[in-house]
Structure 1
Amino acid sequence: MREKKLFHLQALRGLAASLVVLSHSVQGRYADRLWVSGYFGVATFFIISGFIIFKTSRQSFGSGFGFRQFIGKRLIRIFPIYWLATALFVVLSPHRAEYSASDIVCSLALIPHYMALTDGMNPLLGQGWTLHYEVLFYAIFALGLLCRRRPGVLAICAILAGLTLVGMLIRPASDTHGALTLAQYWTRPIILLFVLGIGLGVLEQRAQKLVVPYPFALISGVFIVWFAYSIESPLTEAQHYEFPNLAVIWGLCLLLVFVAIFGRSRPGRFETVAEAFGDASYSVYLFHPFVLSLLKRIGVDAMYPTGYAVASLVGANLFGLAIYRLVETPILRKGRTMLERMA
């Protein structure tokens, strides 16, 4: 049976990418407040990722063929367009002469690696830090595919929860400073968001008759609550990332994804546009800094701070959509063809 298209989930992917762009472009009195919106967008992405990976791979458990297909699809989905964005960043960076070979290789391979130049473990393409966790999740999920579905899913969730517990033993959850070791990096609580996504995938499978009315209105309402909370909150940026304050962000993100999955949907003009920008969200996420950099070079940020944020949102989404259609889609198409020939 053909799976129904989750139009609102696609729309939410596009909105999450736009939140990241907003957090990098907003200036003035709300800059510190809205910076946390970038994390809000990333947390939403991670929950969606857990859901989508489970939904699209739930028939592959207990199969060595499913394991190989999963690895191949994930490699093609993540790396080629990321390599292109990283290469463009290195070419345009004024610090490219200071990057060591290990900095470049580890960044391209998405292996967390301490770089003295940035005093952190993020890749050269800064926003690629989230892909470190995606790759970790894919590796754990792939191992789970070697088991039957129920023990496989339980093992995946147990490993992610176990890594988080180890991380809390290494350093308290309230410590929000950047990780300086691989053990610190890959044991952060953020990986539990994938577990929440898997949980929604199991729920969607078992509660197929569940329908949430007025999903667009509800999603809009959650965003309004979030912006009101983040702008008026007395918390500092660091305090937002501490428990139990972090639970507010996770709870709202979980609610957003839940509504997007179970929301009543029909194929119309809104859904068509939402699907297009949702499909392009990965390209928007990877390439938006280049749009922001161009706008800064021509002085838009200094002359019109508010206009800079608006232009960044519009420009990043349009540029990301162009990259998706002209570059990412052909790469994915060729990759899928190659996998089919190898099957």
Structure 2
Amino acid sequence: MLSNQLNAKPHYQILDGLRGVAALIVVTFHICEAHATSKFDMMINHGYLAVDFFFLLSGYVIGYAYDDRWGKLTIGGFFRRRLARLQPMVIVGMVIGAICFYYSDSPLWPNIHTVPVWKLLIVMLVGFTLIPVPASWDIRGWQEMHPLDGPGWSLYFEYIANILYALGVRKLPKGALWALVLASAALLVHYLLTGPNGDVIGGWTPNLEHTRIGFTRMLFPFFGGLLLSRITRPAYIKNAFLWCTIILVIVLAIPRIGGPDNVWTNGLYESLVIILIFPLIVYMGASGQIHSAKGKQLSKFLGDLSYPLYITHYPFIYVYTGWVSRDKGMGFGHALPYALLTFVVSVSVAYAALKWYDEPVRAWLKRRAVKA
């Protein structure tokens, strides 16, 4: 019944494509990260900021898609729609993570001979819910709230953002939303300029420090994106997909700014990227159009692939990182064929999960909603 009442709005094709570009950069960043000796020599150095870009995109799209629908849409209906969109792939990510953990072996984490299978299965089942795993159940020992599929932490905060939006923030007048966004921006800048690391890396450990980082990373981008959807109207920008992609790749790949003695300079850079450049990219993307059939196909492919790729690729990164760790002196050139294999496997598995699982499951859930 609900689906009949809510006619789907057209997608911003370029924003879909940019989400896919960011997901591909995340995979590349994580592969390269296995060869870094510290945060100061990582390749694709700011690739982790793609998560903050995802938060901003999500806030923008949520505002565009739902702000004018609350006369017909209930809170329960909103949550059901978000669960149907996000949760099926969470389950797949955890299953793949459990399989990779069972069959992989590395000095970086305990193997299946020291972790009972029943414990692995319980961690997987808890992971299906995105409830953080307590430290005593961290079977990998990397201090992750989801040790089988690390990126689950950002989905955890995505759900919190959705809950906050549905229960109250959606009702805020423009002035109050401005105040929330400005306060969140101040919180973000304060952390980046005064914190010990000069970056927003973190959010995945179930403790107070990482909980603070997680909320700091989520609040401004998500609600800043929501505000952007309310105060701007797309214009027309020629070749927007190309320009947005170039800017996004540059800001995520740029080397670390400064060194250990002046980490605040990198924090200043990340503040500018998250608060100014990411909103600009989203506005430009919303203001562009794709006219060619091939361009539309590429954008749709990237958009469809983005979420499955993000939530399923990291178990293969565990395997790759474990393999690299066996040879401490291994250069990236020597590992390149295996790095490319990891990239191809990650994309292939994500696409298979999309076509053979995610799309059929969401179609089935939609049919059930129509009958309800």
Q: If the length of structure 1 is used for normalisation, what is the TM-score?
A: 0.79
Tell me whether 24-33 or 168-177 shows the greater mean CA deviation: 168-177
Q: 2:129 aligns with which of 95, 98, 109?
A: 109
Query: Residue in 1 aligned with 2:105?
Result: none
Query: Residue in 1 aligned with 2:162?
Result: 138
The structure with the greater share of residues assigned to helix is 1
CA contact (8 A) 2:150 2:314 kept: no
Question: What secondary structure does 2:254 align onto?
Answer: helix
Q: Return the offset for 1:159.
A: 6.4
Q: 2:146 aligns with which of 102, 108, 123?
A: 123
Match runs of 1:1-343 below 5 Å: 3-26=9-32, 28=35, 32-34=41-43, 36-61=45-70, 65-94=73-102, 95=111, 97=115, 99=119, 103-104=123-124, 106-116=126-136, 117=138, 118=141, 120-124=143-147, 125-144=149-168, 147=171, 151=173, 174-175=195-196, 180-181=207-208, 184=212, 187-204=215-232, 207-208=233-234, 210-223=235-248, 225-226=250-251, 229-230=254-255, 233-235=257-259, 239=263, 243-250=267-274, 251-292=276-317, 304-342=334-372
Letter in 1 for 2:13: F
Q: Return the offset for 1:129.
A: 1.1
CA contact (8 A) 1:67 1:145 kept: no
Percentage identity across paired residues of the two chains = 17
Deviations 1:72-108 (A, max 9, x none): 0111111122112212322431456364887555533
Give unmatched runs, 5+ long, in structure 1: none
Distance across 2 between alignment mates of 1:131 and 1:311: 26
Give unmatched runs, 5+ long, in structure 2: 1-6, 103-110, 325-329
CA contact (8 A) 1:85 1:286 kept: yes
Distance across 2 between alignment mates of 1:196 and 1:146: 13
CA contact (8 A) 1:23 1:36 kept: yes
Distance across 2 between alignment mates of 1:44 and 1:127: 14
Distance across 2 between alignment mates of 1:303 and 1:229: 20
Distance across 2 between alignment mates of 1:93 and 1:224: 31
Deviations 1:146-192 (A, max 9, x none): 84xx54x7667766777888899999961557651386365324421
Letter in 1 for 2:303: G
CA contact (8 A) 2:59 2:221 kept: yes
Q: Return the offset for 1:212.
A: 1.4
Query: Residue in 1 aligned with 2:327?
Result: none
Q: Return the offset for 1:305.
A: 2.7
CA contact (8 A) 2:49 2:252 kept: no
1:324–1:9 CA distance, 2 compared to 1 (3 A): same
1:257–1:83 CA distance, 2 compared to 1 (3 A): same
Deviations 1:105-146 (A, max 9, x none): 553322334424336352121111111110101111111388
CA contact (8 A) 2:44 2:253 kept: no
RMSD between superposed Cα atoms in Å: 3.9
Question: What secondary structure does 1:123 align onto?
Answer: coil
